[in-house]
C-alpha cells in the first residue's frame, strides 16, 4: 500500500483544490446520478416525475460565526445558504436534516434560538425539518444541514452550459455582505466614526447576517429552460463565475462599472476611500444568483425576474477561451484579488 501522499495541508490546497481532488478520485458516478460533485446541488433521477436535488452546507464556530452571534440569525442563515444552492438549480426546496456537534457546556437556550431561526426560515419556504443528529463537540459548535429539493427534469439549471456570446446576469446587488462582515470586524470598524449613517450600517449587517436566498427567482428563471448556466454567489463573483467558465469551457468579460452596487455599499466604500467594486467581485456570501443566457432571452428573463420583485443586471459576456477579463468603461483592466475561500481567508467570521 505505497500510496503516494502529498504532504500538503488544506491551507496549501484550499477548499476548491480539495474538492477537485475528491472529484478526481471518482466520487459522483453511479446509478441515477444526473449530476454529482461540482455543482450547487447533486441531481438524482430516482424514478419520480421530478429530479431529486441534494445539497449540504456546514458552518463552524470561529470560521463562519463567533460564539457571540445571534443564534436566531445563525439558524436562519444556515438554512438560507442551503436554500440558495437549491435556488441556483431552479429547484423547490423540500426537506432538511440537521447535524450538530455541540460543546457540552453550551447553554441550550442558544440552540433553542438556532432552531427558532431554522424553523422561521423553513416555514417561509415550505421546508420541513425531518430529523438530525446531535452529538458532543470537544471544541466549538459545528452545524451542518442537508436539504432536498425537487425540480422538473427540463428545468434543471447547472453550471456547465454557458456558451460564447451568452450574457452574464446578476440578481439584486453584490458586495453588501462583505461590507457587512467588514463592519463587524476590523477593516471598516472605523467607518462609524467616519460618518456612515446607522441605516447604512444596519442594511449592510443584515445583508451579511440574514441573506435572502433567491428561491422564487430561481424557480421563475428556470421556467422556460432559457438559462444556459447558473450559480449562487456564495464565494464571490470572481470565484463563482470562474466555476461557470471552468465547467463550461469558456472565458468571460465582465464590465465592472456595470456591477449592481447598493447605495449603502457605495457610501460605505466612499467613507473609507475604498473601491466598492472590490467588495462586489471578491466578497462572498451575497447569495444572489449569477446566470448566463443567449442575448435573445435576456429581456424575457428580466421580465420574469421583475414578476418576483427582482432586478437582473447585465454585467458582461461569455467568450471563447478560458480567460476571465475584468474591465472598466475605459477598457482598463481591473484585477479582483481572488474571491472567498474558507481555507485561504484569514478573517472569515
Window 124-153: residues binding a copy of itself (CB under 8 A): 126-140, 142, 144, 146, 148, 150
Do the Cβ atoms of 67 and 60 come closer than 8 Å?
Answer: no
Q: Does 97 bind a copy of itself (CB under 8 A)?
A: yes
33 near a copy of itself, judged by CB under 8 A: yes
- Among residues 21 and 190, whose Cβ is nearest to a copy of itself? 21
Helix (H, G, I), strand (E, B) or coil at 182: helix
Write out the H or E segment, with its range, that includes residue 290: strand 289-293
Residues 302-341 that bind a copy of itself (CB under 8 A): none
**Binds a copy of itself (CB under 8 A): choice among 29, 193, 332, 347:** 29
Q: Is 104 near a copy of itself (CB under 8 A)?
A: yes
CB nearer a copy of itself, residue 23 or residue 194 = 23
Q: If binding is defined by CB under 8 A, does position 101 make contact with a copy of itself?
A: yes
Who's near 69: CB < 8 A, 6+ residues apart?
none
Task: Pick the piece of the chain touching a copy of itself (CB under 8 A) from 22-30, 182-190, 195-203, 289-297.
Answer: 22-30
Stretch that binds a copy of itself, among 55-63, 186-194, 282-290, 304-312 (CB under 8 A): 55-63
Supply 151's cell numbers: 425540480
Question: 324 - beta bridge partners?
Answer: 252
Q: How many Å separate Cα 276 from the centre of its chain?
A: 19
Backbone dihedral region of 171: left (phi > 0), alpha (psi from -120 to 50 degrees) or beta?
Answer: beta
Part of the chain binding a copy of itself (CB under 8 A), chosen from 9-17, 189-197, 288-296, 308-316: 9-17
CA-CA-CA-CA torsion for 291, 296, 298, 304, nearest 10 degrees? -110
Candidates 42, 269, 310, 318: give the one binding a copy of itself (CB under 8 A).
Answer: 42
Closest among 276, 30, 65 to 173, alpha carbons compared = 276
Question: Residue 228 in contact with residue 252, Cβ under 8 Å?
Answer: no
- Residue 2 touching a copy of itself (CB under 8 A): no
Distance from C-alpha of 101 to C-alpha of 143, rounded to nearest angstrom: 6
Binders of a copy of itself: how many residues, by CB under 8 A? 90
Q: Is 8 in the site for a copy of itself (CB under 8 A)?
A: yes
Contact region with a copy of itself (CB under 8 A), list: 41-49, 200-208, 209-217, 237-245: 41-49
Amino acid at each position: 500500500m505505497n500510496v503516494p501522499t502529498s504532504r500538503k495541508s488544506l491551507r496549501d490546497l484550499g477548499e476548491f483544490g480539495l474538492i477537485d481532488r475528491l472529484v478526481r478520485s471518482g466520487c459522483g458516478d453511479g446509478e441515477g446520478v444526473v449530476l454529482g460533485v461540482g455543482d450547487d446541488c447533486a441531481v438524482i433521477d430516482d424514478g419520480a416525475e421530478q429530479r431529486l436535488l441534494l445539497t449540504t452546507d456546514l458552518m463552524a464556530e470561529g470560521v463562519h460565526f463567533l460564539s457571540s452571534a445571534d443564534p436566531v440569525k445563525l439558524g436562519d442563515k444556515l438554512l438560507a445558504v442551503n436554500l440558495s444552492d437549491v435556488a441556483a438549480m431552479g429547484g423547490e426546496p423540500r426537506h432538511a436534516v440537521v447535524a450538530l456537534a455541540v460543546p457540552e457546556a453550551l447553554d441550550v437556550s442558544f440552540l433553542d434560538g438556532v432552531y427558532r431561526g431554522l424553523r422561521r426560515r423553513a416555514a417561509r419556504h415550505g421546508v420541513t425539518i425531518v430529523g438530525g443528529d446531535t452529538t458532543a463537540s470537544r471544541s466549538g459548535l459545528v452545524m451542518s444541514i442537508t436539504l432536498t429539493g425537487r425540480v422538473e427534469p427540463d428545468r434543471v439549471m447547472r453550471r456547465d452550459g454557458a456558451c460564447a456570446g451568452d450574457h452574464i446576469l446578476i440578481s439584486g446587488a453584490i458586495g453588501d455582505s462583505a461590507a457587512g462582515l467588514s463592519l463587524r470586524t476590523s477593516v471598516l470598524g472605523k467607518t462609524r466614526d467616519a460618518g456612515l449613517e446607522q441605516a447604512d450600517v444596519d442594511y449592510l449587517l443584515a445583508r451579511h447576517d440574514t441573506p435572502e436566498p433567491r428561491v422564487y427567482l430561481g424557480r421563475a428563471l428556470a421556467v422556460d429552460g432559457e438559462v444556459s448556466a447558473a450559480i449562487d454567489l456564495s464565494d464571490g463573483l470572481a470565484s463563482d463565475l470562474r466555476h461557470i467558465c471552468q465547467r463550461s469551457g469558456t472565458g468571460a468579460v465582465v464590465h465592472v462599472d456595470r456591477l449592481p452596487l447598493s447605495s449603502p455599499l457605495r457610501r460605505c466604500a466612499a467613507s473609507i476611500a475604498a473601491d466598492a467594486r472590490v467588495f462586489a467581485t471578491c466578497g462572498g456570501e451575497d447569495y444572489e444568483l449569477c446566470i448566463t443566457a443567449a442575448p435573445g432571452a435576456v429581456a424575457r428573463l428580466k421580465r420574469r425576474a421583475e414578476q418576483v420583485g427582482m432586478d437582473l443586471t447585465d454585467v458582461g459576456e461569455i467568450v471563447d477561451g478560458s480567460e476571465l477579463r475584468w474591465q472598466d468603461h475605459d477598457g482598463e483592466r481591473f484585477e479582483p484579488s481572488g474571491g472567498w475561500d474558507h481555507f485561504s481567508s484569514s478573517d472569515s467570521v
